[in-house]
Amino acid sequence: MPDKDAGTPRVFLIRHGETEWTKSGQYTGRSDIPLTADGEKQVISSARVVVGPGKMIDPSRVTQLFISPRLRALRTYELLFDEPTRHQFEGKVEITEDIREWDYGLYEGILPSQAKAGRKERGLDREKSWNIWVDGCEKGESPAEIKSRLDGVIAKIREIQGPYMHGEKPVDVVIIAHGQILRAFARRWLGFEVGVKLPMMLEPGAVGVLSYEHHNVDEPAFMLGVNMADREE
């Protein structure tokens, strides 16, 4: 049975590799923490499997990359794509705060359990438990602020990909960022509010894929499974 959506543009969501705070579970927003040695290995292993000519992320099909300015994301970019490929991407890379991690405000560097305990000490959450997706962060970002900056990136991507829904031109997009913001991005891509209950997981160094149904830019979709076979031109 032929793939009815073959040739439809894709958006690859790539989470940076492991850091020390990834391991401990501490909120890591504005802090610039390097990848661990294992984190670098995670990214290199992913690159071997999914990056290259004819593979899931074929550099010849990538028209734009959006990268968080945090060092852990920039290092992930360097490990994913070799120097000749990065040279090939010149003019296609946008390093932007719009795709940086959620600003956790008072919760930066602490565990979720500590954030909840601190809120209760300050007299918050008496009627319901704190939910970052709904309530945001004290002295940090709200879901509305997250929505605003992510919607701007999504609008840019739709403008890039919209004219080429049937594969007339390769216009895949790569986003290299962080766990929380990429899950928020997937919600907004699908048209859901940031606070909607939609449990998702994205491991360090892992790749998620978004696209469209029926070759239609107005039907954004999440690719539940990806065929790893070579993509035909």
Active site residues: 16, 101
Tokens describing residue 222:
């999440």
The answer to the question of whether 138 is labelled as a binding residue is no
Beta bridge partners of 14: 176, 207
The answer to the question of whether 130 is labelled as a binding residue is no
The answer to the question of whether 29 is labelled as a binding residue is yes
State how far the Cα of 56 lies from the Cα of 161, in Å rounded to an integer. 17
The answer to the question of whether 195 is labelled as a binding residue is no
Cα 139 → chain centroid: 23
The 10 Å Cβ neighbour count of residue 6 is 11
The answer to the question of whether 164 is labelled as a binding residue is no
The answer to the question of whether 28 is labelled as a binding residue is yes
Buried-state track 158-195, b at ≥16 Cβ within 10 A, e below 16 = bebbeebbebeebbbbbbbbbbbbbbbbbbbbeeeebb
What 3-state class would DSSP assign to 209? strand
> If residue 217 lies in a helix (H) or strand (E), which one and from where to where?
none
The answer to the question of whether 103 is labelled as a binding residue is yes
Feature table: binding site: 28-29, 72, 101-104
Feature table: binding site for substrate: 28-29, 72, 101-104
